[in-house]
Amino acid sequence: MEFIDGAIEASSKASPALFHTKATVFKALGKQEGISSSLRDRYLDEALGLLQRHGGLKHNYTAGSICEILLFQAKRRIRELDAGEGQRLEDEAAVRKLTELERALDESLQRFPGDNVIVTHRAELHAALAEQPKAIALLKRAHDANPANEQVALRLARQHVDKGERAEAIQVLRRAANLNPGSKTLSFELAQNLMADGELNHVSEISGLLRRSFTEGDSHFEAQFWHARHEFLYGERERAERVYQQFTKRTHPYVDVGKRRAAVRSPDGSFKLYDGSVKSIQGDFAFVRAQDLAGSVYLHRTEIEGYDWGSMRVGDQLRFRLGFSFRGPAAMSAQPL
């Protein structure tokens, strides 16, 4: 710590990496066995303060560390839960910590979709709550007392989903979203649950929710991805195209804009298959015209199966799954007919 402080003092403009390293030292001190709770909290709060002032949730490495510390603190609070009335202050502290963690996880995953470290932290939180029934009871009490608390509603809804209670999750989210009409996070979470419940059954509502899940130019990248996908399939293609053009023009250092995912499925859960013909070929990619889609979709050579790319010609017939990237719709697992 002396070396780090010396380096910071000797720098006219200290590198953020120095503050991140200092926070890492505090984090390690706070995770030591056998220290008092007050000293542990002091070390971890020092680490959090440094991370939040120098990078915060704007960089994936600081966001991951912030979520890690908050998760460590939340797990401690969960283990200490008691159903007794005398635990009111402790219960409130647990709710505050869970709220802080949930907010950090949501914001981080919008900025850095699929980041393995942050995704793992969210999974660990799911598991920790599932193992502690008192934590779920606490969330229900907190939601009933203040249904407008968006982070409590999000966490309670996610625990319902984990238990296979999708309808209850939607009910919790609708209640909170009605009380927070400006909440991007609640709008996105409710849209995701309605899509899982049956996208064709909620097309109009999902469209409205996804439009409220981000503002143009913000860092809610996942919301923009799903909004463009939904509009391409069921709404206004022009809305989808605006999102795709934005991701093509802008630099997104933490987002794999070319990754193809979210393949369309049939109501029975199987992948929906589309038939089309090759419209044009340009080097390692092509465009495939599909009548069911009223347009053409991108095809990369890595997505063609059982066929030599070099022998493919304009007009060849293909059957494929339809996936999406941040740049638009794309054929996946294509096979010649």
Interval 138-162: pLDDT, tens: 888 889 989 999 999 999 999 899 8
Contact (Cβ atoms closer than 8 angstroms) between residue 209 and residue 226 = no
Q: How far apart are CA 4 and CA 203, in angstroms?
A: 55
Burial grade of 293 (CB within 10 A; 0-12, 13-18, 19 or more): middle
- Confidence class for position 88, pLDDT limits 50, 70, 90: low
pLDDT at 85: 46
What residue ranges do the domains of the chain occupy? Answer: 181-257, 273-336
pLDDT at 87: 56
Q: What is the mean pLDDT of residues 262-289?
A: 93
Residue 210 has pLDDT above 50, yes or no: yes
The pTM score is 0.81
Contact (Cβ atoms closer than 8 angstroms) between residue 122 and residue 169 = no
Q: What CATH number is given for 273-336 in this structure?
A: 2.40.50.140
What length does the chain have?
A: 337
Mean pLDDT computed over every residue of the chain: 90
Percent of the chain with pLDDT over 70: 97
3 state DSSP class of 270: coil
Contact (Cβ atoms closer than 8 angstroms) between residue 225 and residue 324 = yes
What are the distances in angstroms from CA 231 to CA 21, 82, 268, 328?
44, 47, 22, 11
Lowest mean pLDDT among 42-46, 184-188, 303-307: 303-307
Percent of the chain with pLDDT over 90: 64
pLDDT at 132: 80
Among 60, 41, 49, 58, residue whose Cα is nearest residue 19: 49
Q: How far apart are CA 64 and CA 62, in angstroms?
A: 5
Q: What is the mean pLDDT of residues 95-105?
A: 89
Q: Which amino acid is at 15?
A: S
pLDDT at 253: 73
CB count within 10 Å of CB 12 equals 4
Residue 53 has pLDDT above 90, yes or no: yes
